Amino acid sequence: MKVYKAHILFTKERNRFEVLENSYVAVDGNGRVTGVSTDLTSLVADASERRKPGFEDTEIIDFGDRLLIPAMNDMHVHAAQYRNQGIAMDMELLPWLQNYTFPEETKYADTGYAERMYRRFVHDMWRVGTMRNCTFATIHTESTRVLMHLFQEAGMGSLVGKVGMNRNCTEKLSESVEQMVQGYESLITEFNNPDGLVRPIITPRFIPSCTPEMLRACGELAAKYHLHVQSHLSENKEEIALVQKLEPESTCYGDAYDRYGLFGQTPTVMAHCVFTEKEELELMKRRSVMVAHCPTSNLNVTTGIAPIRLFLDEGLPVGLGSDISGGHSLNIFQIMVYAIQMSKLHYQRNHARAFLTLSEAFWMATKSAGSFFGQVGSFEPGYEFDALVIDDHDLNHDNYSLLERLERFIYLGDDRQIAHRFCRGKEIPEPKQ
């Protein structure tokens, strides 16, 4: 067993931080938290009673005056758009996809190009302290396999989606339904260990990109292999109108996925939900569909302000996503800041719904998002120990409180303050670039 000592901060509940000064978190040999406490003796006695290795093999690692917090989770990101990060911000969604995104993704037919880009992507995920993610790759099975191997090599968690696409795109970025199913099955054979940190996730790009046959095949794969599902939902008004045209029987965009078994029949995360209205919201609640809120992307691709306070009040699970390259920042701490600021713009228009607090943003990025991966994102007993050690001495020049120190790190900090990263109990070294 390992015991880590530091100032420990996390969000068991969304409305408040747990703040434990000079405290301890105990982690067992499986990488799970057995307890957290200000009192070492009771913590070690408790844990050893339960697990019986005794005091002797307990190693205590003292991080001194540093902060220990749960690691970040990125619930929506496109690994294959990494080259486009920070460029091409002058169009709305549908022309942006056609003009910038699809041409870039076409390059991933070349596994050499894919490896070069994906190495940098995995490295930078590590750098910003994101230990788990849900990512889109491309239609290309072999490049997707490269990305999965790189995450495995790094020891970080990722649900990786080979992207399903066969309409409204060029021939080079299109696959037949049979090819899609075969590609998935080959990845599933290699990676579908239910305990694995890296696993496939069924990923129809969005309704406009997939024929009914492809959507049906995606739903069947998810059901057959018990795989999670990710896609895009209600991001842009033109997109929503197009979905209504393509799937005229559907009662809302979410219902179009639901008809194919792609809306919570297995754990599902949907990015954006900017224009989700009552019927879609009710369906999402019934199916426990998670929202991946991507505020930077919603600003850059000019979609709109998602009603996150409403989703939280309604009890929908919500996590945060960078949505590179619609979004420009990979750093989930920055995404928290944007989520709070966007909610303040929403509030200025409609005072009926309060803006988000820091603890809510932190909770969405950690415990709420982490539930998609199992017990991840908190330091409660049984949770997998995914953690960051923050050395903020350069920001802490005037005896700030522990909570103020965390807030300043979130608003002002970057990867330079991240001193150590842990995923499932293991310290994760810098991946090779």
Q: Which is closer to Fe ion, CB of 80 or CB of 312?
A: 80
Closest CA to 73 of 376, 348, 356, 308: 376
State the nearest-atom distance from the C-beta of 431 to Fe ion, in Å: 23
Minimum CB separation of residue 209 from Fe ion in Å reads 12
Cα–Cα distance measured from residue 240 to residue 253, given in angstroms and rounded to the nearest whole number: 7
Nearest-10 crossing angle of helices 332-349, 402-412:
90
The span from the CA of 322 to the CA of 335, in Å, is: 7
104 contacts Fe ion (rule: CB under 5 A): no
b/e code 195-227 from CB counts within 10 Å (16+ = b): eebbbbbbbbbbbbbbbeebbbbbbebbeebeb
297 binds ligand GUN (CB under 6 A): yes
User: What is the total count of residues that contact ligand GUN (CB under 6 A)?
Assistant: 12
CA pair distance 271, 96, nearest whole angstrom: 17
The reply to whether 2 sits near ligand GUN by the rule CB under 6 A is: no
Stretch that binds ligand GUN, among 93-101, 285-293, 329-337, 424-432 (CB under 6 A): 93-101
CA–CA distance, 409 with 64 (Å, rounded to integer): 17
**Interacting positions 300-339 with ligand GUN (CB under 6 A):** 301, 323, 326
Closest distance to ligand GUN from the beta carbon of 169 (Å): 10
Rule CB under 6 A: is residue 100 a binding residue for ligand GUN? Answer: no
Question: Which residue, 35 or 161, has its beta carbon nearer to ligand GUN?
Answer: 161
Residues near 168 by beta carbon (within 8 Å), at least 6 away in sequence: 208, 209
105 lines the binding site for Fe ion (CB under 5 A): no
Residue 206 lies near ligand GUN (rule: CB under 6 A):
yes
Q: Which residues pair with 69 in a beta bridge?
A: 388
Residue 97 touches which of Fe ion, ligand GUN, none (Cβ within 5-8 Å per kind): ligand GUN
Of residues 145 and 232, the one with the C-beta less far from ligand GUN = 232
Q: Name residue 320's amino acid.
A: L
Among 232, 346, 367, 421, binds ligand GUN (CB under 6 A): 232
Is 323 an interacting residue with respect to Fe ion (CB under 5 A)? yes
Q: What is the largest CA-CA distance in the chain?
A: 67
Residue 235's binding partner among Fe ion, ligand GUN, none (Cβ under 5 to 8 angstroms by kind) is ligand GUN
Nearest-approach distance from CB 234 to ligand GUN, in angstroms: 11
Query: Minimum distance from CB of 329 to Fe ion (Å)?
Result: 14
**Size of site (CB under 5 A) for Fe ion:** 2
Q: Which residue has the tokens 């809302």?
A: 252
With CB under 5 to 8 Å by kind, the binding choice for 206 among ligand GUN, Fe ion, none is ligand GUN
Q: How crowded is residue 102: how many other Cβ atoms within 10 Å of its Cβ?
A: 19
Closest CB 239 distance from ligand GUN, rounded Å: 7
Tell me which of 84, 85, 101, 234 binds ligand GUN, using CB under 6 A.
101
* DSSP 8-state assignment for residue 170: -
Residue 237, Cβ density class (10 Å: 0-12 exposed, 13-18 middle, ≥19 buried): middle
State the Cα–Cα distance between residues 357 and 16, nearest whole angstrom.
Answer: 9
**Minimum separation from the CB atom of position 274 to ligand GUN (A):** 11
Q: In what order do the strands lie in the sheet with 157-161?
A: 72-78, 130-136, 157-161, 198-200
- Chain positions 246 to 305 lying near Fe ion, rule: CB under 5 A, are 271
For ligand GUN, the binding residues (CB under 6 A) are 78, 93, 97, 101, 205-206, 232, 235, 297, 301, 323, 326
For Fe ion, the binding residues (CB under 5 A) are 271, 323
